[in-house]
Amino acid sequence: MTNSHQSTIDGVVADDDSLESYNWTFEKSDTQYLTHGLHNYPARMIPKIPDTLLGHYKQTGVIEEGDLVYDPFSGSGTTAVEGRLHGLNAEGNDINPFAVMLSEAKSIPLERGGLSEARDALVDGLSEDLREVREAYDESGEVEWLEMPDVRDGWFPEPQLHELTALRDRIDSVDDEFGEAYARFFRIVLSHTTRKVSYQRNGEYKRYRLAEEDREDHNPDVEAIFEKKLEQNMEKMREYSNRVDHDLDTTIHYSDSRTAVEDVGEDQADIVITSPPYGDHQTTVAYGQFSQDPALLTGKVTYDEMKDVDKTGLGGRYDVLEPLSELEEYSETLKVTLDTLREKDGRAEDAMDFFRDYYAVMEQVAEVTKSGQPVAWVVANRTMSRVNIPTHLITRELCEHIGYEFDVNLPREIPNKTLPWENAPENIEGTKGNLMANENIVILRAP
């Protein structure tokens, strides 16, 4: 076992100590290695960004093994996984309970022997159970011993939905016998299977169903999908488990990063690497919509929890914070942007709500992070009402107002990131415009 993990792709490793000398595009980079490939997730930060940053700051003596990396927007756990691979403890926040589950499943290693035993217990007799479920459903249209999940009607072929529910119950039995960590790993396989089995259209991260005429031919094999993904994920976890230190700690809080100090504490993080949402979830990346059915099938999350994810995200419909009218005074770029939106009768209020919430996270991160340590914000510039929003400049200016010291801005193209390339700029259905095709890594030092 080793906890050393260095970038080795040609063109990635820098020739000197300058961050600018790295190739940050990482074109054709593998984004599915080790546990990064356990499950898809929208707008996922590619692993080579935290990998390269952590390797750089270790080489230059800014951080060392045993330090803490923090991510206020954990998402699928990319930073937490790379932190463990670099010998670091990791901590994060997310308001999406499915993201918390996925982050933990990917970043917390499992013992090989225990994983194999738990897998054997899970699949032993599975074929017979699923056959009984299908026969009972075919006979009466229901399976009386199953408590069905709270998914919306019309999103699944009914026989397969009953089989997924039976799989959920078998995983619950694994939880009772082997513990939550093993059950969580299998629930991620169930989540993958759920998306494949549902009527959700391929390649979509918001809730769009197959056309009604296409649903008639949609007859997926639940057991085959589950077992294929199970073996793939088992191999990824075995390799990851061999590579990392099992004595390190990884904690992902199911809570809002706008109050992160309550969970993480002050002056705890030695480095922060995060990819904030690009805008409110409703009009950019709908993390809650993506996660809803997979989360509900696990049986560990309620419908109301999932329904609220996109509404409570940054700039969401549910106002978590009071208005901050003076925010424009903190960033000249934000003021110019909002004025332009107002002139166009655009979505200035929506933009203000988002940056108000984003600023609150910046304040919390400043308290969580040790003074002078690096904070990397990986941001993309979206459009609203056909007005470009220079998020990288606004990020820098708002952080500097808080007391961060600017270090460097690293622009990069996005060759293979899963995110929307078009949105509805006026928030009008059917109206499209360019959204984002590049990112900036804005690095500052904590106050």
Per-residue pLDDT of 85-134, as tens digits, reads 999 999 999 999 999 999 999 999 999 999 999 999 999 999 999 999 99
320 within 8 A of 312, measured Cβ to Cβ? yes
Mean pLDDT (whole number) for 343-349: 84
Confidence of residue 316 (pLDDT cuts 50, 70, 90): low
Given this model, what pLDDT does residue 28 score?
87
Q: What is the dihedral of CA 45, 51, 52, 53, to 10 degrees?
A: 80
Given this model, what pLDDT does residue 279 score?
63
Q: How far is CA 105 from CA 36, 70, 82, 364, 414, in A?
A: 10, 17, 14, 26, 26
The C-alpha R_g of the chain, in whole angstroms, comes to: 22
For the cut 80, the answer to whether the pLDDT of residue 379 exceeds it is yes
Q: How far is CA 85 from CA 21, 428, 436, in A?
A: 23, 44, 30
Mean pLDDT (whole number) for 147-174: 94
Confidence of residue 310 (pLDDT cuts 50, 70, 90): confident
Mean pLDDT (whole number) for 266-280: 90
| Angular region, 254: left φ>0, alpha ψ -120 to 50, beta rest | beta
Nearest to 104 by CA among 79, 77, 84: 77
Mean pLDDT (whole number) for 147-176: 95
Nearest to 188 by CA among 113, 77, 281, 308: 77
Mutual orientation of helices 158-178 and 126-140 as an angle, nearest 10°? 140
For the cut 60, the answer to whether the pLDDT of residue 13 exceeds it is no
Please tell me whether residue 294 adopts helix, strand or coil conformation: helix
Q: Tell me, what DSSP letter sits at residue 201?
A: P
For the cut 70, the answer to whether the pLDDT of residue 35 exceeds it is yes
- Tokens of residue 123, six digits: 């699949």
Mean pLDDT (whole number) for 364-379: 98
Given this model, what pLDDT does residue 429 score?
43
Given this model, what pLDDT does residue 430 score?
41
For the cut 70, the answer to whether the pLDDT of residue 317 exceeds it is no
274 within 8 A of 378, measured Cβ to Cβ? yes
Residue 259 CA to residue 356 CA, distance in Å, equals: 14
Given this model, what pLDDT does residue 322 score?
58
pTM flag (> 0.95)? no
For the cut 70, the answer to whether the pLDDT of residue 20 exceeds it is yes
Tell me the pLDDT of the chain averaged across its residues: 88
Given this model, what pLDDT does residue 153 score?
86
Q: Please tell me the least confidently modeled range out of 309-313, 390-394, 402-406.
A: 309-313
Higher-confidence residue of 202 and 263: namely: 263
For the cut 80, the answer to whether the pLDDT of residue 343 exceeds it is yes
Confidence of residue 413 (pLDDT cuts 50, 70, 90): confident
Residue 2 CA to residue 244 CA, distance in Å, equals: 6
Given this model, what pLDDT does residue 82 score?
98
Confidence of residue 320 (pLDDT cuts 50, 70, 90): low
Sign of CA dihedral 435, 95, 210, 232: positive
% the chain with pLDDT above 90: 68
For the cut 50, the answer to whether the pLDDT of residue 408 exceeds it is yes
